[in-house]
Structure formats: C-alpha cells, structure tokens
A and B are shown apart, each in its own frame.
Chain A
Amino acid sequence: MWTQVSQSLHESMARVISRLATLLPGFLAFIAAVLFFAVIAWLLSRLVRALLGAIRIDERLARGTNAIAEWSPSYTPTTLITRIVFWFVVLMGLLVGLEAVGASSDNLLSTRLLGYIPNVLGAVVLLTLGNVIARFLSRSVLIGAVNMNLHYARLLSLGTKWLVLVLTAAMVLDHLAIGGAVVDLAFGILFGGIVLALALAVGLGSRDLVSRSLEREAARPAPETLPEEQFRHF
C-alpha cells in the first residue's frame, strides 16, 4: 500500500511540476510584456506631457470654469492626462501578459480569472470616482452648512461622505459580483436606516425646539430692522 501511496504522490508531483513548466513560459512572457509596455508608457507619457505643455493646455482650461481643477484641485490637467496615458499603456501590457499566460494554459480557472479582470478594473475606477465625489460633496456640505450657521455642520458633512462611500462600496461589490443579493439587501437596509434615522432625529428631536421657537417668535414684537439688514455688504 505504501508503494501505491508513494507512486500517487510521485505522479501528482510530476503533474504539478509539468503544469508549472507549461505555465512558466507564460509567466515569463507576462513579466516581459509588462516591463516592455511600462517602458513604452513612460516614453509616451513624457511625449504627451511635452505636447500638452507646448499647447499650454493648463492655461487654456484655466480660463473660465475648469471642472477638472474644481473636483481634483491638486492635479493639473496635464498631470491627469499624462497619468491616464501612462496607466492605460501599462494596462494594455498587463492584458497582453495575461493573454500570454492564458494561451499557455488551457485551465478553466485561468480563463475565468482573465475574464474577471475587466470587472476589477471597473471596480477600481468606481472606487476612485466615489472617493473623489465623497470628498468634494462632504466639503461642499460642510462649508455651506457653516455659512448657514448650522451647528450640526460637521455631522451633515460626515453623513454625506459616508452615504456616498456606502453607495460606492455597494456599487463596487455589485460590479465585482461579490455577495449578490446579500449585498443589495444589506445596502438597502443600511442606507434606508441611515436616512430614516436622520429623518427621525430631525423631525422628532427638533419638535420641542420648534414649538419653543414658535412661542418665542409669537411673544416677541417685530423689530423695525432685522439685525443682518443693518450691515450692507455691497
């Protein structure tokens, strides 16, 4: 019996080594493709940066409203475009490399993994956009609420940020086909719960405040001039 166990182990090892040997050229091709395309990406990004600098794209876009700069102020349009070009070419290299790995393997798992890559890329884009939007909106709400003299400005800002991030996370998981109906249900409960909690907090929590405020308003004689109208800013 031990002979047969030993024989089975030797055979399985041989199969695994044989499969690795089959995949090895593919992996080497993958590394070579990624390195090659990374070099091309670097050269292309330098060329694009020089071209965009020559046509002064940053100055042209800075005239009037510049949506790119408003949503992502720390990156100039030249930097953003250059990075998009760079990572697009690197991505092409990754796809070429993965095709090389897939061609050297007839494994069903490899094929399904390759087919999953676009979903991952889409999810990364969604996550990035979601973060940018969450940061912009939360800051807009914070500044707007402070200027409206709302004392719960920070709470509103955090709530906005987390609502957008939760929505983004749900979209990312849905795009990655992770969790399925469980994620949809959990998101629905969480999102709905947050909105309901906020509505109850504002509605029920301010009930006494509103009635006290109305009583004070009714008892106070109307001023001839509102305090803020004494100051004319323009």
Chain B
Amino acid sequence: MAKLELAEETKAGMEEVGTADLLIAVAVQVDDDQLRAAATQAVLSLGAAGQPGEPSLSALRTVVAFPGLSGGDTAPKAEVQDEQAATSNALRFLPYALAAGSPERIPWLAPSSTYQAVFAMARELGVSACAVIGFDLGALQSDFLAPMLAPVFDKRCELAMPFYAMGKFDGLLNSSILAPLTRALYGRRVRFPLAPDFCISGKMLPELEVALQRSTGQGQTLFWPATEAALRGCETCQVHVDTRHVPAADGVDLSTVLAQTVGPLFAEMATNAPLWQRIRGSQAVETSGVAVAPPADGAAADIRPMLETFQLGFRNLQEVWSLVLPPVTLLELKRLARLGADSFHMPDELWVRIIYDFALAYRLRTLSRIHLLGALTPLYLGWVASYAVEVGGASLTEAEQRVEKLARAYEEGKPYLLSRWRWPDRFNP
C-alpha cells in the first residue's frame, strides 16, 4: 500500500507554516476569491462564538487548505492574510493538489484519496482539529465552524458530524439506505453518515490515514467518517447546523448516484464483515445545537412517474431481480405492482430485506455489479413513492419519526442479513 505523497509545493507551504491548531480543508474545487472571502468571514465569526471565560476559537492558528494545484501550475506559497483576518493569529491559505477523479464520478462526492491528502496535511501540521468542507462553500457561509468545533475542542467527541435541516423530501437516499444501514451495521445512530462536512480531532488522524491507505489500496472510493469512528470506538457526536447544500442535478442521473453511494457502502460491508457481525442494536450519539427549521416543502409531490418506473421495472426486470431476491420477496413486489397511487405502500420489512439481499448479491457477484445497482433503482423509486404517500400530509416531526421507524426495522432485520451472509446457499424461500 503506497503512502500518499503530497505535492512539493504543498510541502513547501507547510514548512513555511510550521504548525497550526486548526486545519480547514476544502475537499472540492471552488472559486478562489469566494473561498478566501468565506473562509475569512468564517474564522472571524469563530471569535464571536464560545462562552465567556473560555478560550476564543478565533485565537487558534488556522490554515485553510484548498485545491489550488494542477499539473502545470506554479502554485503560490502559503499566503498570509494579516490585513484581512482581524484575528490575533494570521489566517493562512495552503494549496494542495486535488486527486484527479474519473469522468463518471459525481463532482460533489470527494474520493477517499482527497481525504488522504487532507489528513496527511493535518498530521504534518500537528493540528488539534481538522474541519473538512465538502460539496460547496455552504458550510463556510453559514454558522457551521463554531458549533462543530466546540465539542471537538472540548474533548466531548473525536468526530463531530453535522445534522442538516432537511425537508421531508430531501436526502431521501440517506434516509432510505445510507443512514439506517450504517446504523444497523455499526451501531451508531448518525443521521448523516456520508456528510460532506465534518470535524475531526487530531487524535484520530494517524489511524484514519492508515485506514484510508488500506481502503484506497483495496479500491474503495468513498470515505465514511462515521463508520471509521464506530469501528475504532471513537466518540461521535452530531451538531445541528443551518448549512444547506443543494446538489446540481445536471448530467447526473439517479442510477449513477445510487451506484456511487450505495455501491461503496456494500463494498465496505464486505470489507468490515468480521466487525459488524458482532454488533447488536445501536447507541444514540450526543446531539447538540438548536434544531434549525428547514425550508417549507412545496405542493404535494406527484408520485406517478416513480410508480410507473417501479411498475415498468417489475414487468421488465423479473429475470434480473429473481437472481437476487427470494421468491417471497418477488411475490410481495408482484402484489405491490398492482396497487394504485393512493394505496401504494411498501412495508419497511420488505424494503429492508431487499437492501440486505442486494448487499449479499453485491458481495457474491451474483450478477455484474453495474447491473445490480442499476436494477435497484426502480425498487428505490418504489420506496420513495410509498414514503411520499405516507408522509405527504404529515408534519416534519412525523416524517422524521417515520424515518426512525425504518431505521429500527433495519436493526430488527439484521438477523436475516447475518443468516444470509453466513450461509448464502441455504434454502431461502
């Protein structure tokens, strides 16, 4: 497993900086001027946060690492922004080379090699905490840093994950698969396990670097901070933030998003199988901050296109689904395909068994993984349609309770997963 080598310009910049207390690492390509303005403002606002008598977060020596190097660039050295940052210590900007991703990769999902570079810089600088900013500059342009850094610097936790304010129909992939599945597997109730923004303590960095090296060597493409913290027994907490990310949908279809988020999750399951099989139930993580009201949802959603895709999938993908799903599940899907829009309801137990069967098929390579994740798309849309029917007229609290109910169903269905995982050839009607 080759260790990641930072660019010479980055190393030169780090030598000039020396050491720092806080590294704010931007993991995606952003506009340079916007970044400098947002980062400076965010660091200034750190000074206003905190309780009287406590050391000011703005007194921290802060470095902002950003993707600013490419093949032919002669990158600037780390720049000092004394006149812009009215802080007792200068704010420094340090460019680093963003790993080249494949053309099919979703632009807002940073690959694990990017996190390798970030954690290597953080370790070299000897920081006490590292704040990773992904997706866009939304985290720096909102009240994110202070509430997220506080529990890390107070040593209440080693990983602080954001709790975004989301509407009923936002983050559906996370609510239906990513969050409940990681909760059932790794025993931690983290609402957003694949959050692009998070804060991590300096203590965790060396272990994470080694873990990332190993997983990148094994071909893993995504970094799951909540999973890594759970596997190492590190304290995780959640913080309510008012950051809102709106992903650009241009040119990225749902099948691609599923393949590039759920696929790596299934691959992680295969890698960490000896560990998650021993975990039973889940523990709540400390949640701090004030819950922020999400933007109001629009008019009642039209589920007919999703229902049509589900029914079309049922009519045409039987031979593919029959390679993955047992006959009982197929029978239930047959019954579902006959239901109308008003009475369409996919039971949680059915959805959970479908996800677990697909995870097993991913591991066993029952069919091509590209085809497997493509065949999951109509089923996912069926779940979304069912969810929309249930929570269409419900409040946000009721919708959140509905998501919690699904998460408990994942935990209750874990024995099914264990039995199928250990004995895949056993008769399963």
Q: Measured between alpha carbons, how far is A63 from B261 in the docked complex, in Å?
A: 17
Spot the interface stretch: B75-83, B338-346, B368-376.
Answer: B368-376
Spot the interface stretch: B2-10, B252-260, B279-287.
Answer: B252-260
Would you call A112 an interface residue if the criterion is a C-beta within 8 Å of the partner chain's C-beta atoms?
no
Tell whether, in the assembled complex, residue B218 and residue A63 are in contact, meaning their CB atoms are under 8 Å apart: yes
Tell whether, in the assembled complex, residue B249 and residue A65 are in contact, meaning their CB atoms are under 8 Å apart: no
Q: Measured between alpha carbons, how far is A234 from B247 in the docked complex, in Å?
A: 7
Shortest Cβ gap from B363 to chain A (Å): 10
A interface majority secondary structure: helix
Residues 232-259 of B, flagged 1 when their CB comes within 8 A of A and 0 if not, give 0000000000000011010001110100
Spot the interface stretch: A85-93, A141-149, A160-168.
Answer: A141-149
One of B217, B218, B312 near A153 (C-beta < 8 A): B312
Tell whether, in the assembled complex, residue B317 and residue A234 are in contact, meaning their CB atoms are under 8 Å apart: no
Q: Measured between alpha carbons, how far is A9 from B247 in the docked complex, in Å?
A: 91
Would you call A70 an interface residue if the criterion is a C-beta within 8 Å of the partner chain's C-beta atoms?
yes
Would you call B378 an interface residue if the criterion is a C-beta within 8 Å of the partner chain's C-beta atoms?
yes
Tell me which residues from 105 to 163 in chain A have a Cβ below 8 Å from any Cβ of chain B: 136, 139-140, 142-147, 149, 151, 153-154, 157
Residues 295-322 of B, flagged 1 when their CB comes within 8 A of A and 0 if not, give 0011101101110110011011100100
Tell whether, in the assembled complex, residue A230 and residue B316 are in contact, meaning their CB atoms are under 8 Å apart: no
Would you call B49 an interface residue if the criterion is a C-beta within 8 Å of the partner chain's C-beta atoms?
no
Tell whether, in the assembled complex, residue A232 and residue B317 are in contact, meaning their CB atoms are under 8 Å apart: no
Q: Measured between alpha carbons, how far is A230 from B385 in the docked complex, in Å?
A: 12
Shortest Cβ gap from B181 to chain A (Å): 15
Tell me which residues from 206 to 234 in chain A have a Cβ below 8 Å from any Cβ of chain B: 224-225, 227-234
Shortest Cβ gap from A7 to chain B (Å): 68
Nearest neighbor of B378 in chain A, beta-carbon distance: A146
**Interface size range on B against A:** 35 or more
Shortest Cβ gap from B170 to chain A (Å): 5
Nearest neighbor of B245 in chain A, beta-carbon distance: A234
Which chain A residues lie closer than 8 Å to B384 at the CB level?
Answer: 231, 233
One of A147, A225, A227 near B374 (C-beta < 8 A): A147
Nearest neighbor of A63 in chain B, beta-carbon distance: B219
Q: Measured between alpha carbons, how far is A74 from B247 in the docked complex, in Å?
A: 37
Nearest neighbor of A229 in chain B, beta-carbon distance: B249
Which chain A residues lie closer than 8 Å to B313 at the CB level?
Answer: 146
Tell whether, in the assembled complex, residue A147 and residue B253 are in contact, meaning their CB atoms are under 8 Å apart: yes
Assuming A71-B368, A142-B316, A232-B169, is B174 touching A147 (CB within 8 A)? no
Assuming A142-B316, A227-B301, is B170 touching A232 (CB within 8 A)? yes
Would you call A69 an interface residue if the criterion is a C-beta within 8 Å of the partner chain's C-beta atoms?
yes
* CB pairs A–B below 8 angstroms (20 shown): A69-B365, A73-B367, A140-B374, A142-B316, A142-B317, A143-B371, A146-B378, A147-B254, A147-B255, A147-B374, A147-B377, A151-B312, A154-B316, A231-B172, A231-B301, A231-B306, A233-B254, A234-B171, A234-B174, A234-B261
Closest 3 CB pairs of A and B: A64-B219, A63-B219, A143-B374
